[in-house]
Amino acid sequence: MNMLPDAETLEPIADAAGGFHPLFADVPSSVEFNKLRKRLLRLARQAIDDFSMVRPGDRWLVALSGGKDSYGLLALLLDLKWRGLLPVDLLACNLDQGQPNFPKHILPDYLDTYAIPHRIEYQDTYSVVTDKLPEGSTYCSLCSRLRRGHLYRIAREEGCSALVLGHHREDILETFFMNLFHGGRLAAMPAKLLNDDGDVMVLRPLAYCAEADLEKFAGAMKFPIIPCDLCGSQDGLQRNAMKAMLDDLEKRMPGRKDTMIHAMTNVRPSHLLDRKLFDFAALNETLTRQDIPDDI
């Protein structure tokens, strides 16, 4: 069921504030940027609608890392809300994980400038990760688990029904191929997931959005990007190999990434080999005498 208000276009709603969220006051006026912005808004809104993410009146905790994707997520959600197309309250949240040289002032200053409701939480998970794992190890998995646990807690404390993450199309495809090549299973990142405790929904409204578009959007919006000095500084990650493979495939056969994302919405269990998803034994019961050729 479509929970979003109908809108003929994605043109900003004219109002006393000038018809746009303050974040967009100084954006480029070029046709190229307007097309990019509308494309990202349309795809985010489509994902929100396709996966029934909205319950009007809910409150969402929007995870903000300081990277291009989470900045883009927050900006697009604020834009949709400003237009009257997202009837939820938004609370931005940054989890300061104690990384050395992390510029603590950037995110609060940015959020304060645009009067965006937010919470900054300090938890030194950096020391935990580096203490538990030997130097040169891949930190992403443990770092992510620790971060997610704190974000669930914050969501509960703030009365938020959902934790909203900035994973995009490429993140989902890379995860799919990591599971395929290394995990022996067909699985990716779901656009909507209930956490193990059953009290916080995890949402990914950028599921259809291309990383390249988000990168262009971040540049045009002049987001104050904060690099990750933990996992972002490590080479040889499996995800990097998947990213390189997908980029090469897209270069040689343009449009494959969109086709693969579409394939994830068009699954046919009877054409796979998972007996838990399809009752192959029941096919025997449908075989009647007239189905058997006379010459057998």
- Which residues fall in the annotated binding site for [4Fe-4S] cluster? 140, 143, 231
Helices (H), the chain: 31-50, 68-82, 106-113, 125-132, 140-157, 169-178, 211-221, 238-252, 256-263
Cα separation, 70 vs 78, whole angstroms: 12
Cα separation, 160 vs 60, whole angstroms: 5
Cα separation, 78 vs 281, whole angstroms: 50
Token output for 275: 């007996």
One-letter amino acid identity for 204? R
CB neighbours of 137 closer than 8 A, spacing ≥ 6?
none
Cα separation, 145 vs 72, whole angstroms: 23
Give the chain's length: 296
Binding-site residues: 140, 143, 231
Beta strand pairing status for 162-164 and 201-203? Answer: parallel
CB-CB contact of 160 with 59 (8 Å): yes
The residues with which 62 forms a beta bridge, in sequence order, are: 92, 164
CB-CB contact of 113 with 83 (8 Å): no
Token output for 143: 């770092």
CA neighbor of 84 nearest in space, from 2, 7, 18, 166: 7
Beta strand pairing status for 162-164 and 59-63? Answer: parallel
Q: DSSP per residue over 37-53, as a string? A: HHHHHHHHHHHHHHTT-
Cα separation, 155 vs 178, whole angstroms: 29
